[in-house]
Structure 1
């Protein structure tokens, strides 16, 4: 396949896939907090709740843990809502409160040490392939017995998955890179970084590849206005994404764990990490934190769902898959240090040590914590597909009751309401919440639109915190019950994409409640609880 064909493949397939775009009308910034009846956008009616239900009411501060890739502690819209450990003295390198973590002023980072921070990691399936490879290298695979037979079959399946995914990532990266190189050459020939449409039209392509790139960019200019804006929105995200997949996510030889320096196989080890809760890439975690509790009264940026929260930053998720040991310790840390709500906008298809996470979840529930988890962005039915962590205990002892699983919805009340990328499940997902074109905080006191169930989960976490703030005597299970009972039920069918086919289903086939969370309804219902 020649370079031009590879470029076509990358641009036509890879970039739209990465963008997770939906064919819906653009909603205004903050639409997730609007009301369907009064504003015509299917938000969760946060502003209506403040206007009609909460004025003058007393409220107390609620700590919400954001277990994620890091939070920008200097952000203009977040710095005033950060959790501050009241018993810890910053910078003295002493564990003043004796919780096992010295100088944990705003939270803790479980994927770093004095050596630095983990930024990239492999996917869990890649790490499992590496472990299996080491195990079976010392065995005669022609004479396996007992459990090793099944393990070897699983190893071969995962090895094939990793090999295929790595090849696809490299191929797609090559295509995107070729497009980028051709575009750079055209711009160099024109002599401008941002030529206008007339200047682009005047350029005489020298190859079929240049013809295609010229046509593609010209077609994008009405939307993006400038060439650099198009490159920033479409080319560079794809370039970075597939480069990361090829070099880190599906690279069996890549293992950054030595940076952390822990005994990784010892799941009972708790005290490792460092104080850098921002880390090298806090984009995702900062965005999540802003949705939950960005300052509502400072006249800048955005407005979070909850008006009296403190964000506890627990850095756990690299670019790649989080590790079960770190997730378990992050949940324990949050629960032990006063979090009432934990947001978990992450997930993966394989689990290395589910028991460790399950035990941590049980600990958090014993502390009356409500856990909110994003359902995932693979457009899969999680009744049949694994998505970890999840509420089902591996030992068969039941499920985590104080847990809400969240799918993502769009702004328009029509067949497109289910976000095209969102996972779903009749019993495995509880509710849906806004997750398309959500504007929130990003590093450097900036703001950006992101898509994902990662954005839907914090809308629910913010609502849970709002309820617990105004009705502090309610238990985690009562708050969950209120959120689930107060959804806006969807009475019309919505589209679900199955491969090349589109089908329409009732919304109660996608989640247990059959609805979208609603702050106004939830707070009215909360007022009736004793």
Structure 2
């Protein structure tokens, strides 16, 4: 871990005039025309001279750092040709199905193409490749002063850590197997902690985390490892128990990410499994800390998205996350759905609030975002605030906080800025079924 090297030259690398938003994701195209003008640049480093001017242990970290491959290449452009018409069409049909406007022909096409292993592989790779750029585009939109920092955590193609090292002849007892799951979670958290020190060293004000491991993914991980070790499948009851052991350990260990960066507000996507995070943990979004805010996704401002995770205790707010048009690598644009898109909507608001009053702490910004929501009946039992973020009202509260307390600013902003106007009525939506929404990018392959 390189945490001991941080902090020597970094005081001068972060802009004092604009908030810095770290995109902790699968890589970001910093050359994209929407992102390049807002790119965070480490002014202490001299590009491509193979030296470490700021002495933080990350050589030539001009735009950020690639923790997945331990270099300064924050995106791998060799995947640029992965986007084709089928992938683009799938995202479009996916949205139409959620809005119940897809034709029967489009529905049948989507169901059939999901049976094509080559397509599944292609869209999975492209999903990882474009993900960080898409998220960055949302976080940057209308945040005119914000600077986007790229922090690559997710490899474009990933595998389960340590999978090749497991011996089928090892006769671990179940107790030791559970300890192994906790060690796996701790191994993941080591990198997370290093990222925390990195964003703290570069004084990032906001960090967006549209990644994670949910209950269905954990079930696949634990079942695969169990079968490898014990040569048989675990019972459903046992695998449920093992999944909770793994996820609870992941949440506990990944808390190191936010603990070492107390001056950064972390915005996490709630997950795309349609599950209750109060009952089925998702990591890292279930981390409970003053500088963490968890985000569910909605269909515009009309209803909670059918794929979105939720949680009266574990998820704080909701934001739009269906059919969101944003940047994709190579100056492309695609419409994508997920809590991955809802989270940067909130990170964007956080950056704008911070720019309105740079003296605000992460706790203050979180209070403002949560205190200025539009209350929605369909969110009463789904998120802690029972509401949908209101960008204009939050920014107004940020402005007002320059001359009054945060609490008074929230109250005044609620009086001054109306709820966002919504046309039509909220309605319940059918579940989409497995495969229609890509899970959050994870460090693990399952």
CA distance in 2, matches of 1:307, 1:237: 43
Which of 118, 130, 133 is 1:286 aligned to? 133
Aligned: 1:67 with 2:8: no
- Say if 2:39 is the partner of 1:82: yes
Distance 1:118 1:470, change over 3 A: closer
Q: How does 1:83-482 map to 2 (within 5 A)?
A: 83-113=40-70, 220=105, 235=113, 239-240=117-118, 242-243=120-121, 282-293=129-140, 304-318=141-155, 319=157, 323-349=188-214, 350-351=246-247, 356-365=253-262, 368-392=263-287, 399-411=288-300, 413=302, 417-482=303-368
8 Å CA contact 2:301–2:388 kept in 1: the answer is: no
Note closer, same or farther for the CA distance 1:362–1:479 as it changes in structure 2 (3 Å cut): same
Contact 1:111–1:315 under 8 Å retained in 2: yes
Conserved? CA contact 1:60–1:470, under 8 Å: no
- Structure showing greater Rg: 1
Q: Does the C-alpha gap of structure 1 residues 380 and 356 become closer, same or farther in structure 2, counting only changes over 3 Å?
A: closer
CA distance in 1, matches of 2:270, 2:286: 11
So what's the TM-score if we normalise by structure 1? 0.52
**2:200 partner SS:** helix
Q: Return the alpha-carbon distance in structure 2 between the equivalents of residues 234 and 78 of structure 1.
A: 36
Cα distance in 1 between the residues matched to 2:133 and 2:206: 17
Q: Which runs of 5+ in 1 are unaligned?
A: 1-58, 120-179, 181-217, 225-229, 249-278, 294-303, 393-398, 495-506
SS in 2 for 1:364: coil
1:80 shift after superposition: 1.3
Deviation, 1:117, is 10
Instruction: Report the 3-state secondary structure (helix = DSSP H, G, I; strand = E; otherwise coil) of the residue aligned with 1:527.
Output: helix
Secondary structure in 1 matching 2:105: helix
Deviations 1:242-289 (A, max 9, x none): 44899x9xxxxxxxxxxxxxxxxxxxxxxxxxxxxxx99530000000
Change (3 A) 1:338 1:113: closer
Query: Which residue pairs with 2:385 in the alignment?
Result: 513
Specify which of 398, 416, 421 is matched with residue 526 of structure 1.
398
Query: CA deviation digits over 1:424-481, x for unaligned, max 9?
Result: 0001000000000000000110000000000000000000000001111111111110
For 2:74 and 2:42, the matched residues in 1 are separated by: 22
- Give the 3-state SS of the residue equivalent to 1:86 in structure 2: coil
Distance 1:241 1:371, change over 3 A: farther
How far 1:380 sits from its partner (Å)? 0.3
Q: How many residues align?
A: 303
Give the distance between the partners of 1:118 and 1:483, measured in 2 at CA.
31
SS at match of 1:426: coil
Residue 219 of structure 1, CA deviation: 5.7
Residue 411 of structure 1: how far off its partner (Å): 1.8
User: Deviation of residue 517 (structure 1)?
Assistant: 0.2
> Partners in 2 of 1:381 and 1:338 — Cα distance?
33
Give, in whole Å, the separation in 2 of the partners of 1:434 and 1:234: 28
TM-score by length of 2: 0.61
- Asked whether the equivalents of residues 426 and 511 of structure 1 are also in contact (C-alpha less than 8 Å), the reply is yes
Gaps of 5+ in 2: 1-15, 77-85, 87-102, 161-187, 215-245, 405-446
Deviation at 1:420, TM superposition (A): 0.2
- Distance in 1, Cα, partners of 2:43 & 2:383: 40
